[in-house]
Structure 1
């Protein structure tokens, strides 16, 4: 019943309760009236039969003739109770005679054998039983019609008498009563349905308002409140909802303020770091150029400073890119590109031609942001080279109005417990190695760049071994939610995640495999 609405369930409950009550009351009324009608008719007929049997057989001789028995039976059947009579007794001259008032309807064959046995059974006379014979009765059906059969034996050697009374009139009366009760039950059911509808509207209207308010609250309209009137449970629920909504609104405002402050801090910190980093980078480049002429004892330290400076510079660029995504200021600079050429340029710029196998046909055109596609490819391919195994295979194929790029390595694959987190920020597969060459932002930035294109990146393990990252992008992302700026007017800065900033220099890695 999960799919049935609350209103319908309430109406069904009302209807079932009303139906059960009406049926129970009708059944009780029917059986009480049935018992009263049949008992009244039965007692009247049996009392009249007992008196008539005594009056009409008391004047008969001990050995009457068959006509005398027949005359007595006809007299007994002529009463106002309208029943048929059958007298059976020993007649003058020997033998037994059966005298029915209606030979076509009532004969000894119509009398149940159990009733004949009970009527003819002589009982012991004592203080509790003053008569050896008693009057017995039974209800039977003849030719589909109900009858009352009764019988008694005249004490002192008289004949045995049986009566047969039709109960057809009583059955018709009881059928009429049953129809009346059925109609009353139907009307009660209809009335209960109308009452349930009214009750459901009264009860569910506040619930519907509460549901609508909860929906608006879920859509982010945190100023939603309910009008409260009354002191019942629904009113108390509305008050509780208003308090919860007010508390949630305050909490969200606090969290939003903290988040905004954190974003400003990261953005400001990243911008402030760029100036000293620019100077440090210039110095380290000079030191790197002069590394061969430096003292061998100093050269390793210089090399460490150079590599760590580059790593810090990449981290700052990544942080700035992340703040743009969080702030919603990242924009697309769209251009029509040949995807095969774009992938080849990405691989060649990083000197990966010997380690990457490209399966892409020329002429697959797409309208997208070339720089952001380069960032995505650099991170996916670099991640496969670092954490997977060579050769890395890049396959490009069109699928209707979408572009599918698969990056597969031949490494051990990604552990199942790591798969759900490979795109999380700052996530690294090995907790024992928190410090690595990557910042843990590369794949996260790649995914954000896919999302701003209206695409998606998924990670899985190939049945043949190795990990497979699948990039799915629209062939034309002009309607992407990130918006579009004219070419040459992008305000996003340099590449993120170790884009194409220097041949042979890999992107930021997630350390997922």
Structure 2
């Protein structure tokens, strides 16, 4: 997966995650509100239904106790109790009645409206004790006995059980009323509230989606605009509509992008001006350098005839003139890379022969150990490969320690050339900068034989081939290792040119390794 695809995927996940969080928050708020409202509504309705049923049954039972049970004789017969219980239960309240009287002192009798459905065992003991307990009569209590009730359950069905006794003597009565219908009504209400809660949850999710779309669409556009801005499309702007915070954010983004575009344009103009200045200066210096080079060649040929006091000065002029020529050629090569005019002139070469030719041309055969099998063919630019090898090997010879070993191998469709020396290695703080232009590892040696451009030019030549160079210290701590990786066939690169160009051909020896450097550090 490409980096752009990964970024798009991560951006999509983040966008979806934010949408999900909004939906979840909306859903939780709606769920909490719906459950709270449903719970309160259910509790209020439950109390209202049960209280209404309970009050109606207890009120009717009290009235029946006053009208029928109180009219019974002090010592009723079982038949009279039975008849009174049946008459009391025959009303519209829909409950069973149980009456307890005495036919003689200490001899209770029971009459019930439905012996198969309601017996004294169905009355909780605590309720019986409360009903039979005599209360003290006083200012706050005018009667010794009261009506008590309790909700109970038999099997899976709820019931209301109530009881009281006649003041002044008479039977004790209990009612037994089923609350199953009320429970069914409350269950229906609970289902209705649950459905309403679910609908509220679905509605909140839809509302959250709409809200998330409204909020996240501008945020998504802002993210896309920021991504395009990061990719270098500095003319990216957002359409501003409204006066809310998102609109203000869009205005701020547009102002920032406009300021950034202006600053980058100014910097690009200055950089282009500097690049043109370096290119023009290099071209202008070539003519006097040509004359100076011719003079220095004459002076070098006649060096033996000079006065011993003058010879050192002549040698200094010759070496500095050559150094200046190398610097001008390097600067021209750098300007070609910066301007994008550098081209490859491809040829199919034997890599071992190419490396051997590079080493032999500079008389390094005695100082370099070569490990390269013949027959490793690659299609590349021989001149630029020579530039890379000359800089890497020359750098190792200059700053590293002998012997310098060059090994060539292939890995899949890749050509790997390793240059290793046995010197002190490269300091860790210098490693990230060894390919920087004009980098000097030692500030105490700002003026050295190299220009600080050799390794950067080698890297540019590797890049134009579609390859790379890495620098590191060897694992055993004995020297530095530079590894060049190039594709064995670079003919598909867009910058390839089978015929070459005049500028490239004019400096075949300009950067051919006469300026090897590793950042120009004395410790290297």
1:318/1:496 contact within 8 Å kept = no
**Alpha-carbon distance change, 488 to 179 in structure 1, aligned in 2, over 3 angstroms:** closer
Aligned to 1:472: 485
2:388 and 2:427 map into 1 onto residues whose CA distance is 22
Q: Residue 390 of structure 1: which of 398, 402, 405 is its match?
A: 402
Contact 2:438 2:453 in 1 (8 A): yes
CA RMSD of aligned residues (A): 2.7
The answer to whether structure 1 residue 360 and structure 2 residue 369 are counterparts is no
**Cα distance in 1, alignment partners of residues 262 and 457 from structure 2:** 31
Q: Secondary structure at the match of 1:396?
A: strand
The aligned counterpart of 1:310 is: 322
Task: Check the 8 A contact 1:441/1:497 in 2, yes or no.
Answer: no
Give the whole-Å Cα distance in 2 for the aligned partners of 1:425 and 1:253.
Answer: 23
Q: Do 1:314 and 1:496's aligned partners in 2 also have CA atoms closer than 8 Å?
A: no
Per the alignment, residue 287 of structure 1 pairs with 299
Stretches of structure 1 that go unaligned for 5 or more consecutive residues are none
Per-residue Cα deviation, 1:252-271 (whole angstroms, up to 9, x for no partner): 22122111100010111111
Q: Which moved more, 1:88-97 or 1:236-245?
A: 88-97
Query: Using a 3 Å threshold, how does the CA distance of structure 1 residues 487 and 137 change in structure 2: closer, same or farther?
Result: same
Q: Which position in structure 2 is the counterpart of 1:103?
A: 115
- Report the more deviating stretch, 34-43 or 90-99: 90-99
- Moved segments of 4+, more than 6 Å: none
Go from structure 1 to structure 2 and tell me whether the alpha carbon gap of 1:324 and 1:62 turns closer, same or farther (over 3 Å shift): same
Separation in 2, partners of 1:73, 1:85: 5
Tell me how far apart the structure 2 counterparts of residues 58 and 44 of structure 1 sit (CA, whole Å). Answer: 20
Q: 2:519 aligns with which of 488, 492, 510?
A: 510
Output the TM-score relative to the length of structure 2: 0.88
* 1:418-437 alignment, distance < 5 Å: 418-437=430-449
1:230 and 2:239 matched = no
The 2-side partners of 1:417 and 1:470 are apart by 19
Give how far 1:314 is off: 1.7
Partner in structure 1 of residue 50 of structure 2: 38
Q: Is the 8 A contact 1:442 1:497 kept in 2?
A: no
Say whether the 8 Å CA contact 2:346–2:491 is kept in structure 1.
yes
Match of 1:266 in 2: 278
Counterpart for residue 351 of structure 1: 363
Residue in 2 aligned with 1:333? 345
Q: Are 2:147 and 2:163, in contact at CA under 8 Å, matched by a contact in 1?
A: yes
Give a deviation string over 1:356-413, Cα, whole Å, max 9, x none: 2222221111100111111111222222233332222222221111111222223333
- Structure 1 residues 161 and 358 mapped into 2: Cα distance closer, same or farther (>3 Å)? farther
Name the SS of the counterpart of 2:163 in structure 1.
Answer: strand
Q: Which of 132, 140, 150 pairs up with 1:138?
A: 150
Distance 1:280 1:178, change over 3 A: same
SS in 2 for 1:491: helix
Matched position secondary structure for 1:4: helix
C-alpha distance in structure 2 between counterparts of 1:432 and 1:159, whole Å: 121
Per the alignment, residue 320 of structure 1 pairs with 332
Secondary structure of residue in 1 paired with 2:201: helix
Count of matched residue pairs: 509
Correspondence list, 1:172-187, <5 A = 172-187=184-199
User: Helix, strand or coil for the counterpart of 2:485?
Assistant: strand
What secondary structure, in the 3-state scheme, does the structure 1 residue paired with 2:322 have?
A: helix
- Which deviates more, 105-114 or 490-499? 490-499
Classify 1:152/1:331 alpha carbon distance in 2 versus 1 (closer, same or farther; 3 Å).
same
1:373 equivalent in structure 2: 385
> For residues 131 and 399 of structure 2, what CA distance do their matches in structure 1 show?
106
Task: Name the counterpart of 1:449.
Answer: 461
Partner of 2:3: none
Distance in 1 (alpha carbons) for counterparts of 2:158 and 2:231: 73
How far did residue 333 of structure 1 move? 0.6
The range that moved more, 146-155 or 338-347, is 146-155
| Pairwise CA distance, 1:15 | 3.4
Are 2:495 and 1:482 aligned? yes
Secondary structure at 1:241 match in 2: helix
Structure 1 residue 245 corresponds to structure 2 residue 254: no
Alignment of 1:4-19 (within 5 A): 4-19=16-31
3-state DSSP of counterpart to 2:72 = coil
2:504 to 479, 491, 498: 491
Q: CA deviation at 1:89?
A: 4.5
- Judged with a 3 Å threshold, the aligned counterparts in structure 2 of structure 1 residues 412 and 154 are, in CA distance, closer, same or farther, namely farther
Greater mean alpha carbon deviation, residues 169-178 or residues 157-166:
157-166
The CA distance in 2 between the partners of 1:8 and 1:497, in whole Å, is 62
TM-score relative to the length of structure 1: 0.90
Shift of 1:477: 0.6
Check whether the contact 1:445–1:496 (CA below 8 A) recurs between aligned residues. no
